Amino acid sequence: GENVEQHPSTLSVQEGDSAVIKCTYSDSASNYFPWYKQELGKRPQLIIDIRSNVGEKKDQRIAVTLNKTAKHFSLHITETQPEDSAVYFCAAYTSGTYKYIFGTGTRLKVLA
């Protein structure tokens, strides 16, 4: 079945450094890839997304890149801040299936 692998499971960075989280999806027909941030005890919140006709998208300190050939997409956070500490989930969506497949999450800790 469809699968999304996410790495690393935990990531610690110093404040101001960059953080990169990587996901690999199995369904080559997947065409929409959102990233969610989930703080402890709170709902997942969309932080950025990318569609398969775009290779890269940026929103201030956050960027996502997509490599369709490798079935791989990544989240990049620059100039990390303590409030970036949370669990981040990637997801992949395939048109016509109506379902999102989520990765297992990355716990990001930004050390002050």
Partner 1 sequence: ETGVTQSPTHLIKTRGQQVTLRCSSQSGHNTVSWYQQALGQGPQFIFQYYREEENGRGNFPPRFSGLQFPNYSSELNVNALELDDSALYLCASSLEREGQTQYFGPGTRLLVL
Question: Which stretches of the chain bind partner 1, using CB under 8 A?
Answer: 1, 6, 31-32, 34, 36, 42-46, 49, 51, 89, 91, 93, 95-105
Minimum CB distance to partner 1 smaller for 42 or for 112: 42
Taking the complex as a whole, the smallest distance from the CB of residue 86 to partner 1 amounts, in Å, to: 14
Indicate the Cα dihedral angle 58, 59, 63, 64, nearest 10°.
-70
Question: Can you count the helices (H) and strands (E) in the chain?
Answer: 0, 11
Taking the complex as a whole, the smallest distance from the CB of residue 43 to partner 1 amounts, in Å, to: 4
CA-based end-to-end distance of the chain: 41
Taking the complex as a whole, the smallest distance from the CB of residue 46 to partner 1 amounts, in Å, to: 6
Whole-angstrom Cα distance, residue 106 to residue 102? 12
Minimum CB distance to partner 1 smaller for 49 or for 78: 49
Sign of the C-alpha dihedral computed for residues 12, 39, 8 and 32 taken in this order = negative
Minimum CB distance to partner 1 smaller for 22 or for 78: 22
